Amino acid sequence: MDKKVGRFEKVSFPELDIDIIEAKVDTGAYGIALHVDGIEVIDDKLNFWINEESNKFTYDKYKVVTVKSSFGRIQKRYSVRTQLKLGDKSYKVFVSLTDRKSMKFPCLIGRRL
C-alpha cells in the first residue's frame, strides 16, 4: 500500500537544523523549494541562511537549476542535496533555495518526491 500525503504536511530537514516546518504539497510543481533569507557564493562554496538567527550553512557541492513558475517566469536557483523527513520516512532530496517570504508556506513539495 502506498503512503498517502495530504495537501499540507509537516516535514523536517535535520541537516539544516529544521525540526518541523509546514509544507504545501503541490502536484503542479516538480521539485522541492525551501525559503532562505540569504544566499552567497564565496570561493566556489554556497553559503546560505534560513533566518537571521540561524547558522550559516556551507555546501561545496551544489547545482544551479532553472525553474519555471506556473506563470511562465523562468528563474535560476541554487539547489543542494539534503535529508528530508516526512512521517517516519527519510529521503535524500535536492532542494532549490529561494525567497518564499511572500508565500504562505516556507516549503513546497512537488510531485518528484
- Say what the pTM is: 0.90
For residue 1, pLDDT over 70 is answered with no
Grid cell listed for 92: 535524500
Q: What is the pLDDT of residue 69?
A: 78
Q: Are the beta carbons of 48 and 55 closer than 8 angstroms? A: no
* Average pLDDT score over residue span 75-104: 94
Q: What is the pLDDT of residue 2?
A: 67
- The one-letter code for the residue type at 101 is K
Q: Model confidence over 8-63: pLDDT tens digits?
A: 999 999 999 999 999 999 988 899 999 999 999 999 999 999 987 678 999 999 99
> For the chain, how big is the Rg over CA atoms in Å?
14
Q: Model confidence over 86-98: pLDDT tens digits?
A: 988 999 999 999 9
The one-character DSSP state at 55 is: P
Distance between CA atoms of 85 and 105, rounded to whole angstroms?
17
